[in-house]
Structures are given as C-alpha cells and as structure tokens.
Amino acid sequence: MGRIEKAFEKPAFIGYMVAGDPDIERSKTVASAIIGGGADIIEIGIPFTDPVADGPVIQRADTRALSAGAVPSSAFEITRDIRRYSDVPVVIFTYINPIIKAGFDSFYAGAKESGADAVLIVDMPFEEADEAQAAAGKHGLDQIFLVSITTSEERMKKIAEKASGFVYLISALGTTGQRDQIPQEALELVAKAKKIFDIPVVVGFGISGPGNARRLIDSGADGVVVGSAIVSAIEDNMDSAEGIGDSIRKLVNEIKSGIDS
C-alpha cells in the first residue's frame, strides 16, 4: 500500500504551504508544524509569479518566498527535509510553467528523488496531460487532477480515467481564500464525484475551521485541504519562528480534531 492510499484509511487532513515562505529555513519549520499538528498529507506549493488560482493570502506568500530566493527546486529541498523525520505523503503543487521550463521528465525525476508521492498541476487541463502522466508513470508518482462545481459529469468521467492518488474538488468559484460557509454546490459536487471516482475525493478552497471541515466529511468527502488559513498563521507571526510553528500546530490540530470527531 502506498503512502497516499494509506493516508485515506480514515478522513484525511491535507495541509498546504508555499515552499520558501517566509524563507527556506522557516518553511521547513512550517512543514514540521503542519505534520506535528496531525496532517495526513502535505501539499508543498512552488511559488509562482502569476498564481491566478490563488487569493491574496497565498499571492503574498508567493511574493515572500520569491523575494527570499525560493526556486522550484526549493519544494524538493523541503520534501527531502521532511523525509528525515516523517513518512507523511507529499504532493508537489505547481503551475505548469516551472515544469515546462525544467522539462517533464527532469521535474518528475526530481520530485521522486526528493521523496514526493504526487504532483498536482493547477492550470493543466486533463486533455493536455499526456506528458505529465507519462512522466508520473515512469517515476512512480500519482498525477492529481482538479474538478470544480462547473465540471460536467461527462468531463468528470474522462478525468476519472486518468486521475490517481485522489481527486481535488474545488469547493467554490474564484480563487483560494478562507470562507465562512461551505456552498451547497460544494456538497452536491462531493455527492456527484463519489459516484464517478473510485479514488478518494478531497475538497479544498475556503476551508478554515473544524465546523466546515466536518460538514464536508459528513457529506461524503474523504479529506479536506486547508491552505490560506495556514499561510495566514505564518503572516501573523513573521517575527517569530516559534510563533509560526506553535500557531500552525494549534490550527491544524483544531481542524484535524473536527474531522476526527
């Protein structure tokens, strides 16, 4: 059984971070805190100059990381550091430009060598995924795909033929960011996806507390992704690496407890 498959033996908490935010060394502290708080899977985002799917919180994190000198391979450096102390599954989260620049085979080889388990390309349509899938298959990585509330059932079925690891459901239209309520459309999307996909279904975009995380699990989701709330905890504690770690561990533990309750 692979690490990702094992992570979904119970409802999974997936924590997102930006590689190099606020700098490389402190982002290693962030990763450790996410894992220490109880995360079942960690997504490590490669900072990008034009993150069109991300809201202002993660955009600022990308800017901080890039200003501190982060590059695409920084995500691999953090993954290698995680592998010194944890077997938690790692998903490399990226826009497609860094992969094109590196070359698909080189990028996926680097991800595998670092200890990653999967790659998620946020702006890659599944119709254009052949090179990514070939590289993923060659290097033994899962290729994660996104599905939104506007994705048709027919399109979902086509994505289901290619996806592995888990499928990532986008809970709301627009960019990432914390939201107070889970839209009814998100719950309906979970129900639809569960009928189509034979791999775990997780939900992201806007999940910030134990209540809405629990609601999604109760609706049938196999896991939830929390990103902006974690990144906000970094932003609120920039003057203290210890404060960053403590704040993130507390946040992750609180939401994880809601999922497990």
| Distance in angstroms (rounded) separating the CA atoms of residues 229 and 33 | 14
| Distance in angstroms (rounded) separating the CA atoms of residues 90 and 120 | 11
**Which residue reads 């998903």 in tokens?**
91
The answer for residues whose C-beta is within 8 angstroms of residue 100's C-beta and 6 or more apart is: none
Strand partners, 148: 170
Catalytic residues: 43, 54
Name the residue among 182, 216, 214 with its Cα closest to residue 201: 216
Give me the amino acid identity at 144.
Answer: I
| Distance in angstroms (rounded) separating the CA atoms of residues 172 and 205 | 7
> Burial of 180 by CB count in 10 Å (0-12 exposed, 13-18 middle, 19+ buried)?
exposed
Tokens coding 27: 């982002």
By three-state DSSP, how is residue 224 classified? strand
Tokens coding 30: 């962030």
End-to-end CA distance of the chain: 26
Name the residue among 33, 59, 36, 35 with its Cα closest to residue 48: 59
